[in-house]
Amino acid sequence: MSKQDGSSRQVTTGPVDDSGTPILHVDMDAFFVSVELLRRPDLRGKPVLVGGTAGRGVVAAASYEARRYGVNSAMPMSIALRRCPNAVVLRGDYRRYTEYSGRVMEIFRSLTPLVEPLSIDEAFLDVSGARRLHGSPAEIAWTIRRRVLDETGLTCSVGAAASKYVAKVASSRAKPDGMLVVPAADTVAFLHPLPVSVLWGVGRVTEQSLLKLGLRTVGDVAGMPADALERAVGPALAGRLARLAAGIDPRDVETRRVEKSIGHESTFHHDLVEPEEIARELLRLATDVGVRLRRADLLARTVTLKVRYADFTTLTRSRTLAEPTDVARRIYEEALVPLADLVGDGRRVRLIGVRAEHLRAAGDGAPLWDPDEDWRDAERTIDEVVRRFGRGAVKPATLVRPAAESAAPTVRDGDAPDGHGPDDDPPPGLRTFW
């Protein structure tokens, strides 16, 4: 049995048929903010934002009290504070968030080995094999919520369903601090009244295309003739939306996810013009990408550069490598080639990014000739020093500069939510390279 309150929140409150709902989606509630409130309990019940306030700082997370003002993550902080001027803004602490994420994921894995983390604060679980030890899916969902609260002081929302897609929709409907089980037989009845925006692949542009056709709910999409839907959004997306609208999602929970790409990008507090300064920020980003590749034991065959100008025109350029790499130096040098054509001549750059793509496991065959062997050994040695002594212990010499000279990039894809990264002020005794 489930009930819906005055908002869109919907939770399970009594006995329910969960026999065909082995997939759970667990999503932490306002995770970054909730972790901060553990040490700032005086801020509970108040609008709280995590993120940067200087220049083009963005909101990394917003409490539910702040969201009532129309504030959400990834929103420029300046806009968020105009909408909610009484909000309390806190700098993030990514190491602390990572610690709590690890504790939560361990709780999940103590109940089932089939855990697929989606991000630092959410995961899919397949509990079909855990019934004998831990009970039905609904009972396991209750156990997860209780243990997360008891062992971390945080709350989470859980959706249980027959598929990953429906479980994720259910967890979002149960927020905050709720649980919603969607019986397999009720999947279509649950989905069809919901707005088209809940369908994966429907962003603002696609949503507007569907609304123009009079398609406002998932049920409307399900009842649309296939050829008309294809004309509106294209055959590939039309087929996927039709399947999702019918509750069809055959994907399994994957315990080992191989990332399709790894990237970092930065939006600057002030537009950059000088190519040397832009290249220095590119080096910082490439360094972070290389570290993440090595941690994941992955190699990249393609390097993609992204440049966004002051007028928001955005260009990307990709280069395919002769041999796949996890070396930051190689990633940087490859991205520098197209960068030379995209900056200079007074062009003002708002954002740059670098992404490693076409990834493969590092152990899937070694190249006959490794042009980056020396650099790879050096960077792995640096990884070990950083592991022992912390970030900032070693960095490229080019990135060692007075804080006043820093371009101070705002957090974007892949960066820590407090905006800190390898370009923080160097500690005493800093060792450098490059």
Find the range with the poorest average confidence among 53-67, 99-113, 156-170. Answer: 53-67
Please provide the average confidence, as pLDDT, over all residues in the chain: 84
Mean pLDDT of 294-315: 90
Indicate if the pLDDT at residue 418 is higher than 60. no
Query: Which is more confident, 235 or 18?
Result: 18
Contact criterion met (CB below 8 Å) for 38 and 103: no
Q: What pLDDT shows up at residue 370?
A: 54
CA terminus-to-terminus distance, the chain = 63
Q: Is the separation of the CB atoms in 265 and 353 below 8 Å?
A: yes
Distance of CA 273 to the CA centre of its chain: 30
Mean per-residue pLDDT for 7-17? Answer: 86
CATH class given for the domain over 18-184: alpha beta
Q: Is 27 marked as a binding-site residue?
A: yes
Q: How far apart are CA 303 and CA 333, in angstroms?
A: 10
Could you count the other beta carbons within 10 Å of the beta carbon of residue 57? 23
Query: Buried b / exposed e across 270-280, counting CB within 10 Å, b at 16+?
Result: eebeebebbbb
Tokens 């590939």, residue?
Answer: 236
Q: What is the pLDDT of residues 206-246, one digit of tens each?
A: 888 899 889 999 999 999 999 989 888 888 888 989 999 99
Per-residue model confidence (pLDDT) at position 430: 28
Q: Which of 36, 65, 122, 281 is catalytic?
A: 122
**Lowest mean per-residue pLDDT among 121-125, 284-288, 295-299:** 295-299
Q: How many residues does the chain have?
A: 434
Q: Looking at per-residue confidence, does 365 or 248 come out higher?
A: 248
Most confident of 153-157, 270-274, 429-433: 153-157
* CATH label, 192-245, candidates 3.50.50.100, 2.40.110.10, 1.10.150.20, 3.90.1150.10: 1.10.150.20
Task: Please tell me the chain's helix, strand, coil percentages from 3-state DSSP, rounded to the nearest 5.
Answer: 40, 25, 35
Task: Pick the closest to residue 67 from 176, 204, 145 (CA basis).
Answer: 176
Give the model's pLDDT for residue 389.
59
Strand, coil or helix: 291? helix
Q: What residues does each domain of the chain span?
A: 18-184, 192-245, 261-433
**Domain spanning 261-433, CATH class:** alpha beta
| Model pTM above 0.85 | no
**pLDDT, tens digit, 9 for 90 and up, residues 65-90:** 999 999 988 788 889 999 999 999 99
Question: Which of the four pLDDT bands, split at 50, 70 and 90, describes residue 294?
Answer: confident
Rounded CA-CA distance 250/243 in Å is 10
- Any idea which of 214-218, 290-294, 406-410 has the lowest mean pLDDT? 406-410
Of 109, 269, 246, 277, whose CA–CA distance to 184 is shortest?
A: 246
The confidence score (pLDDT) of residue 416 equals: 35
DSSP reduced 3-state for 93: coil
Query: How confident is the model over 118-151, as pLDDT tens digits?
Result: 888 999 999 999 988 999 999 999 999 999 999 9
| 424-428: average pLDDT | 31
For 371-392, what is each residue's pLDDT tens digit? 566 666 677 777 766 666 555 5
Sheet strand arrangement including 261-272 = 314-325, 298-309, 349-361, 261-272, 409-410
Tell me, yes or no, if 65 is annotated catalytic.
no
- DSSP bridge partners of 117: 123
* pLDDT confidence tier of residue 289, bands split at 50, 70 and 90: very high
Question: In terms of DSSP H, where are the helices of 135-177?
Answer: 137-152, 164-174
What pLDDT, on a 0 to 100 scale, did the predictor assign at position 405?
45
Q: Are 432 and 394 in contact (CB under 8 A)?
A: yes
CA-based angle 47:151:105, to the nearest 5? 90
Task: Please give the Cα distance from 105 to 111 (Å, whole number).
Answer: 10
150 is in an annotated binding site: no
Three-state SS letters, 40-64: CHHHCCCCEEEECCCCCCEEEEECH
**How many CA atoms lie within 13 Å of 356's alpha carbon, on the beta-carbon side?**
32
Please tell me the number of Cα atoms within 13 Å of 196 on its side-chain side. 25
Query: 162: helix, coil or strand?
Result: coil
Q: How confident is the model at residue 428 (pLDDT cuts 50, 70, 90)?
A: very low
DSSP-based three-state secondary structure for 298 = strand
Is residue 43 very low, low, confident or very high in pLDDT (cuts 50, 70, 90)?
very high
Q: CA-CA distance, 259 to 292, in Å (whole number)?
A: 11
Q: Are 147 and 161 in contact (CB under 8 A)?
A: no
CA distance 59 to 372: 38
Residue 403: the pLDDT is: 43
Residue 368 is predicted with a pLDDT of: 44
Q: Give CA–CA dist 67/84, Å, rounded.
A: 9
